[in-house]
Structure 1
Amino acid sequence: MVDPHVARQGWRRLEPVHAMVYFVPEATEQYAALGLTDWRSGYFASRAAAFGPASPELVIATFYNFSPRLIRRALPAAWGVVSPDKLLAARLDAAGAALRRADIHARPDLEETLALARRAALAACERLPGRPLFAAHAALPWPEDPVLALWHAQTLLREYRGDGHIAVLAAEELSGLDALILHAAAAGDMPVSFLKKTRGWSREEWAAGEDALRSRGLLGDGLTVSERGQALRRRIEERTDELALPAYAALGEEGCERLAVLARGFGRAVVDAGLLTLPA
């Protein structure tokens, strides 16, 4: 048995290695060179490219907390500009260039960290049903370069966990906007204005979403989470942790603890290099 909290630490601490690709200029420049000069088109098309020329409906279903209106502005128009294969290659190039800027390639613990993350990712690949975005990425070839292989491994682990998280949200009858508002109220790690802009929700839609959550007893006055809302969030996170365990169980308790220790240095290197800086 593996403690879900220990497995979660391994995922969270290594997550910056994947997540930075949504913020770094290397990605924006790569997509612009292919003709996708709007950030929305670059983001949605590059992340969805593993599906092939995905429909807006497929992306709405699997990305979850974005306004459908925002997604429809980007897709399917992006596929008339650049093919999914070219976008996948550009995304990989951007990830590698950015991570080298953080000196990930020079870390002496890269090989060990990659071995653990890859083993977990391959275990997840044995459990494809019900994980559509993960499954699409699982079908992609593993890069030979260790830096890119680590990025790919964490991409798989992120999407595996993310698909499970969406399943839990849907089971709790929380829409993408509901989940986003609850996260904003509880975490406070990103400005609400940034979340509204990047997820495409209008001021009116956000306000209506807050009212709906208050009517369910999940929000208090202002943007605060009620006790009932906090209990719901804990239940969601605990269930998400449980659904992610099949990947990390392959490492055993000791392996998960080791990954959590190693991952801290990788995540810190990404942050210290400024790869997660929010756009102005």
Structure 2
Amino acid sequence: MFELIEPIATATFSEVANEAFLAVGMRNYWDGYFAGRAAPLGQAPAEVVHAVFYNFADGEVARHIPWVWGKITPEEAIAVRERGSTAALRQRIGDLADSPGLTRAADLATRAAVSAPTEGRVLYAGLRALDTPTEPVARLWHAATLLREHRGDGHNAALVAHGIGGTEAHVLLALSLGMQAAEFGRIHHLPKAQLDAVIDGLRHRGLVDAAGGFTATGRETKDRIEALTDELATPPYDVLSTDELDELIAALEPIAAAAAAAHE
């Protein structure tokens, strides 16, 4: 489900959605990112957004929040994000946007997306408090975003349970992709001393070897976190019967494939 939901939800991080935020006064991509994604939390301070988002380096959130709230309200940001994301998704999937299959996918995905418990799921709970769009493409994007953030909240819980911090999580992801941490896009900009200290901490715990690669314990820890993340992501789909889940998967496959292909 992650592979089917992710290309749909991440239309929100596209240039089309970015331009929608630039048009209302955001200075750059990251202003729009933080305004749109954090908006369901209200005017939460940077410290809270940093905690909820989990994996940004210290100070990165504070470069944008609360500045963005001097230019746009959370309510306005929610509307801009939905409008830009829907336009981006429609552009990416072409004729599928008007297909009966998309409408059915939106209906089933929405049923799943609003069915899970919210306890301990801060960003998911914030999104659940929003009105569900009625237009099918917007509704599908909204449902995919709910499911994505539900999974993300669970992933954060899994990381906390294993004592893995936000920057450490990026290091482990980089290694799982066959990259050195210093080459990974989300953390390569960090000062070398800061990144080296994170890697040294992982090495001290036996998760990273002297060459900067995975140890067996490190790979096992990463795999265990991913398995727990998958397990914690299942509750929304429990509301669907086996036939309905199969139907949802079949309906999402061409949409996700088109969205992913357009993003490449």
**TM range, normalised to the smaller chain?**
over 0.9
Query: Contact between 2:17 and 2:81, CA under 8 Å: does it hold in 1?
Result: yes
State whether structure 2 residue 132 is matched by structure 1 residue 132: no
The answer for the alignment partner of 1:5 in structure 2 is none
The correspondence of residues 75-86 of structure 1 with structure 2, limited to 5 A, is 75-86=65-76
2: distance between equivalents of 1:41 and 1:157? 23
Query: Contact between 2:5 and 2:148, CA under 8 Å: does it hold in 1?
Result: no
Q: 1:264: how far off?
A: 2.3
1: distance between equivalents of 2:245 and 2:170? 29
Q: Which moved more, 1:62-71 or 1:247-256?
A: 247-256
Q: CA RMSD in A?
A: 1.9
1: distance between equivalents of 2:201 and 2:164? 11
The answer for the alignment partner of 2:20 in structure 1 is 30
The answer for the alignment partner of 1:231 in structure 2 is 220
Query: Contact between 2:170 and 2:187, CA under 8 Å: does it hold in 1?
Result: no
State the TM-score, normalizing by the size of structure 1. Answer: 0.87
The answer for the alignment partner of 2:203 in structure 1 is 214
The answer for the alignment partner of 1:242 in structure 2 is 231
3-state secondary structure, aligned to 1:129: coil
Query: Contact between 1:118 and 1:153, CA under 8 Å: does it hold in 2?
Result: yes
State whether structure 2 residue 100 is matched by structure 1 residue 105: no
Q: May I ask how many residue pairs the two structures share in their alignment?
A: 261
The answer for the alignment partner of 2:109 in structure 1 is 117
2: distance between equivalents of 1:191 and 1:160? 29
Query: Contact between 1:123 and 1:247, CA under 8 Å: does it hold in 2?
Result: yes
2: distance between equivalents of 1:188 and 1:91? 33
Cα deviation 1:10-35 (Å, max 9, x = unaligned): 2322211001211x211111111111
The answer for the alignment partner of 1:94 in structure 2 is 84
The answer for the alignment partner of 1:151 in structure 2 is 141
Cα deviation 1:114-168 (Å, max 9, x = unaligned): 12211211212xx111111110011000001000000000111111111111011
1: distance between equivalents of 2:210 and 2:243? 44
Q: 1:181: how far off?
A: 0.5
Q: 1:252: how far off?
A: 3.5
State the TM-score, normalizing by the size of structure 2. Answer: 0.92
Structure possessing the higher relative contact order (Cα contacts under 8 Å, 6 or more residues apart): 1
- Structure 1, unmatched stretches of 5+, are 1-9
